[in-house]
């Protein structure tokens, strides 16, 4: 039986991401359009972060990408909370954290009176 191109385009297909939960069904002719926006399609992180588990680039479903990039990605833009140094989350929390000069707690001072003079007196802790 010969099937013309037009019939093929109208064949019902399901999205290749259906095992990840994509409910989409349509025709081959509209599959490309769907894949351009499919929330369940695996995409790699735009920051090219690596997956701890298998060491490859992190792959995640498109619907999870935004949350990943904003709050989970180890390579998301991140500022040191102590000095404002800019870097990635992993470079700041792992490498920079060891050398951050502002991280050391400023020595608390108290005042002690010498007669009429009031001098700041550093406390050694
Ligand atoms: Zn889909
Ligand atoms: Zn990432
Ligand atoms: Zn810092």
Among 2-11, 40-49, 97-106, the least confident range: 2-11
What integer pLDDT is reported at residue 105 of this predicted model?
55
Assign 79 to helix, strand or coil: strand
Indicate whether 28 belongs to any domain.
yes
Query: How does the average pLDDT of the chain come out, rounded?
Result: 84
Q: Which segments of the chain are extended strands (E)?
A: 12-14, 25-27, 42-44, 59-61, 77-79, 86-88, 109-114, 117-122
**What domain range includes position 23?**
5-35
**In this structure, what token pair is assigned to residue 115?**
């007669």
For residue 103, the ligand closest to its alpha carbon is 3
- Confirm if 100 and 82 have CB atoms less than 8 A apart: yes
Centre of ligand 1 from the C-alpha of residue 84, in Å:
41
Indicate whether 16 belongs to any domain.
yes
Indicate whether 22 belongs to any domain.
yes
Indicate whether 48 belongs to any domain.
no
For residue 30, the ligand closest to its alpha carbon is 1
Q: What is the pTM of this model?
A: 0.64
Residue 121 has pLDDT above 60, yes or no: no
Centre of ligand 3 from the C-alpha of residue 19, in Å:
44
Centre of ligand 2 from the C-alpha of residue 85, in Å:
20
Whole-number Å distance between alpha carbons of 73 and 79: 14
What integer pLDDT is reported at residue 116 of this predicted model?
54
Q: Which DSSP state fits 50?
A: B
pLDDT tens, residue by residue, 36-74: 999 999 999 999 998 777 778 999 999 999 999 999 999
Centre of ligand 1 from the C-alpha of residue 20, in Å:
9
Residue 11 has pLDDT above 90, yes or no: no
């Amino acid at each position: 039986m010969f099937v013309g191109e037009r019939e093929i385009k109208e064949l019902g297909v399901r999205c290749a991401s259906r095992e990840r939960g994509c409910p989409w069904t349509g025709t081959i002719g509209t599959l490309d359009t769907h894949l351009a926006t499919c929330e369940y399609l695996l995409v790699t992180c735009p920051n090219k972060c690596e997956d701890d588990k298998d060491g490859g680039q992190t792959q995640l479903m498109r619907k999870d990408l935004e949350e990943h990039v904003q709050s989970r990605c180890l390579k998301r833009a991140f500022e040191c909370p102590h000095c404002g140094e800019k870097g990635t989350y992993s470079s700041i929390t792992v490498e920079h954290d060891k050398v951050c000069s502002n991280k050391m707690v400023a020595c608390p001072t108290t005042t002690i009176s010498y007669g009429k003079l009031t001098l700041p007196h550093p406390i050694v802790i």
